[in-house]
Amino acid sequence: MRCLVVKAHPLSESLCALLTERAITGLRTAGHAVELEDLYAEGFDASLMAEERRSYYGKAYVTGEVQVQVERLLAAEAIVLVFPTWWFSFPAILKGWFDRVWAPGVAYDHSEGFGPIRPRLNNLRHMLVVTTLGSPWWVDRFLLRQPVKRILKTAIIGTCAPNCRVRILSLYKSEHLTPARVTRFSEKIARTLAQWE
């Protein structure tokens, strides 16, 4: 498959950088074609531009500055997102990627009267979300009710790519890791990617 790996962390020596490399290795080992989109390294601007917002309800969305990212998204049959969960949400740069790239005419179409949107990413088959959190698992699951998972599965993938299978791997208490825990988590990433067909 054509796989897009999207990394959203500003530090090249971060745990997310290591997990990105593990995901890329797993995909290539399984024979998939991989394209990396490193949002910070590429200088991606998270801010939705005025002309982009004006075009949301126009005849055609103005892709201009994000045309390359749009083409990568449309070509992808599978996506791996690697990012830290900050304040129980996406990093701003990743939220901006969704705002600017998963746009009308790209990821979905508006319906008449602005009812439910119509999906366009019908070729997207798999998404693996790899995220790190400083909190323990029970805070994310029981106190916050997994906001990242709910937003991704229901609001974004559920509406734009309903045929896509989403799997989320969360590494909790990431400030207190041992090499053994990182290895086990990396192996879980590899096992998950090995199941993609």
Residue among 195, 62, 75 nearest 128 (CA): 195
Pick the CATH number of 32-174 from 3.40.50.360, 3.90.79.10, 2.40.37.10, 3.10.290.10: 3.40.50.360
Query: What is residue 4's predicted lDDT score, i.e. its pLDDT?
Result: 98
Three-class DSSP category at 169: strand
Taking only the tens of pLDDT, the chain with its 197 residues reads: 999 999 999 999 999 999 999 999 999 999 999 999 999 999 999 999 999 999 998 889 999 999 999 999 999 999 999 999 999 999 999 999 999 999 999 999 998 887 889 999 999 999 999 999 999 989 988 988 999 999 999 999 999 999 999 999 999 999 999 999 999 999 999 999 999 98
Report how far residue 176's alpha carbon sits from residue 83's, in angstroms, rounded to the nearest whole number.
Answer: 17
pTM: 0.95
Q: Is there a contact between 196 and 30 (Cβ–Cβ < 8 Å)?
A: yes
